[in-house]
Structure 1
Amino acid sequence: MRDFSKGVRMFGQGWAILLRTPKLLVLGALPAVLTTALLVGGMVALVVWIDELAAVVTPFADGWAELWRTLMRVAAGIALIGVALVVGVIGFSALTLAIGGPFYETIAEKVEDDLGGVPDAVDLPWWRLLWLGIRDGLLLVLRSLLFTIPLFLAGFIPVVGQTAVPVLLAVVTGWFLALELVAVPFYRRGMDLKQRRLTLRKRRALALGLGVPASLLCAIPLAAIVVMPAAFVGGVLVARESLTS
C-alpha cells in the first residue's frame, strides 16, 4: 500500500506542478481536446449508424420473427456501443499521447530539468515520437482488450458483475494507462516498451497508484482534458522513481 499511496501522491504532485505553470497545463490540454473531438465525433457517427451496424453483425437473424430479430439487434447495438465506450476509454490516452508527443516531450523536459535533468537524454524528432506513440499505443490497446472485453462481458453476471468486475476493470485499465503515461520519459532515455513494462512490473503498486485514479477520472465526460496533463506529469515522476529504485 505504501507504493500505491506514493503513486497517488505523484499524481497529485502532477496537478501541483501544472497549477504553478499554467502554460504547461494549456500545452498538455491541447492534444486531449483534439482527441476528445475525434472520439465524440466517432461515437456520434456510431449512434447514427447503429441500426445498420447491428444488422451487419447479426445476419443470422434475417429470417427470424420480427420480435426476436428486433430484440437481437437491439442487444447487438447495445453491445457495440458498450465495446466502443470501453475501447474509447482505453484508447483515449494512447491516442492523446501519440498526437501530443512533441507537446508532452516539452513538458517532460521542463519537469525533469527542474528535478535535475536526464543525463545523455535522447532528443527524438517529432515524427519519431509520433510513430513510437502510435505503435506502442496500439500494442497496449490490443493487449488491454484481451482483458477488458471479457471483463466487460462478465459485468452482466449477477453479483460478480457488480462487485469484483468493476474493481478488476479499474486495475487493468489503470495498469495499461500507467504504461502509456510513462512512455515519453522512457523514450528520452532510449528505452522501449518492453523495458518500460519490465521496469514498472517491479513497482506495480506505484504504477497503479498513478493509473487507477487517472483512469477513473478520465471516465468522467470532458474531465480527461485537464486530467491527462496532470497524469502525464505524474507519469514523469513515477518513471524517475521506478528507474532510480
Structure 2
Amino acid sequence: MDASRIASPVTGVVGRFLAGAGLLLRGLGLYVRSPGLMLLGVVPALISGVLFLAALATLVYFVDDLAALVTPFADDWSSTGRSLVRVIAGLAFLGLGGLLGVLTFTAVTLVIGDPFYEKISEQVEQRYGGTPGAVDVPFWSSLRRSLADSVRLVALTALVGIPLFVAGFIPVVGQTVVPVIGAAVGGWFLAVELVGAPFYRRGMRLPQRRTILKADRPTALGFGVAVFLCFLIPLGAVLIMPAAVAGATLLARRSMGQPIEES
C-alpha cells in the first residue's frame, strides 16, 4: 500500500486539521444515535477514570515536594526567587503528568474495554460499508498485540515528554509554547493509539498505521488534539472515550481512502 497516495490533500492544512477535529464531533453524533452500545463503552472508561483521578490527586498533593526535590539549587535563593522557580517546576511536573496521564489512560482503557470498543468500531464500519480486507484475529492475540503496541507508544511518549518537561522550566516559553507542543504531541499519539482497532481488523500493526496517518498528518492531528483537549476536562475522558473510538474508526477509514459517508 502506497501511503503517500492514500489521502491526498484536497484542502489546506488548516482545513484538514479542522476536518480531523470534526471527526470527533461525528463520533459524538454516532454516540447520540446509539446510546445503548455507547454507554457500555463508558464502563471501562469509568474504571480507568477512577484510577487515574486518584493518581492525579496524588501528584497534585506531592507536587510541591517534587518541585523542591528537583530544584535544590534554589534553597539559598530569596523567598521570591525560590517560590517562582518551584512554581515553574510544579507546573512542569503537572504538564508532564497530564501528557503521560492522557496517553496511559487511553491505553489502559482500550485494554480493559477491548470487547466494547471493538464492537463500537465494528458498528461504525458496518454503517459506512464494512471492512475491506478484514482478517480474523483471535481475541487473546489481538489483546497481546494491543497491549504491546500501547506499551511502545507510552514509552515513546515518555521519551518525548522528558525534553518538554525540561523546557517547562524556561520562563514564559515553558508556560505558553511548551503546552501547545505538548497538546500536539499528545494529540498525535492519541490518534495513533485510538485507530488501533480498525487497523488490527485489517491485519495492520503499529508501524503501518503510523505510516498511513502520516500521509495526512494535519487531519490526524486535528482529531487527536481535539480528543486530547476533551480528555483534559474533568470526566471528559470518561464521557468522550466511546465517541473518540467511533471518530477514530472514521479517521482510519478516511486515511485508507475508504468511504465515511452513508450511501
For the aligned pair, the TM-score class normalised by the smaller chain equals 0.7 to 0.9
- 1:151 is aligned to 2:150: no
1:53 CA drift (Å): 8.2
Deviations 1:45-87 (A, max 9, x none): 56677899899x78xx8xx99xx9xx89x95x94666543432
2:251 maps to which of 231, 238, 244 = 238
Alignment check: 8 A CA contact 2:194 2:244 kept: yes
Contact 1:123 1:188 in 2 (8 A): yes
Instruction: Tell me, yes or no, if the aligned pair for 2:20 and 2:221 is still in contact at 8 Å.
Output: yes
Q: Residues 76-133 of structure 1: CA distance to partner in whole angstroms, max 9, x if unpaired?
A: x946665434321221111111221111111111110111101342233332232222
Amino acid at match of 2:165: F
**What is the distance in 1 between the residues matched to 2:62 and 2:21?**
40
Q: 1:22 aligns with which of 22, 35, 58?
A: 35
Aligned residue type for 2:36: K
Q: Structure 2: where are the runs of 5+ without partners?
A: 1-13, 259-263
Match of 1:162 in 2: 175
Q: Aligned pair in 2 of structure 1 residues 41, 124: CA closer, same or farther (>3 Å)?
A: farther
Task: Give, in whole Å, the separation in 2 of the partners of 1:12 and 1:159.
Answer: 33
Unaligned runs of 5+ in 1: none
Identity of aligned residues (%): 46
Partner of 2:4: none
How far does the alpha carbon of each residue in 1:162-181 deviate from its partner, in whole angstroms, 9 at most, with x for none?
A: 33212111111100000011
Work out the number of aligned pairs and report it. 237
TM-score scaled by length of structure 2: 0.79
Aligned mates of 2:160, 2:119 — CA distance in 1: 33
The two structures have a TM-score, normalised by structure 1, of: 0.84
Structure-2 residue corresponding to 1:195:
208
Q: Aligned-pair RMSD on alpha carbons?
A: 2.9
Decide whether aligned partners of structure 1 residues 204 and 153 sit closer, same or farther in structure 2, where only a CA change above 3 A counts.
same
Which residue number in structure 1 is paired with residue 191 of structure 2?
178
Q: Is the 8 A contact 2:38 2:120 kept in 1?
A: no
SS in 1 for 2:212: helix
Aligned CA distance change for structure 1 residues 169 and 46 (closer, same or farther; 3 Å): closer
Distance 1:20 1:4 in 2: 25
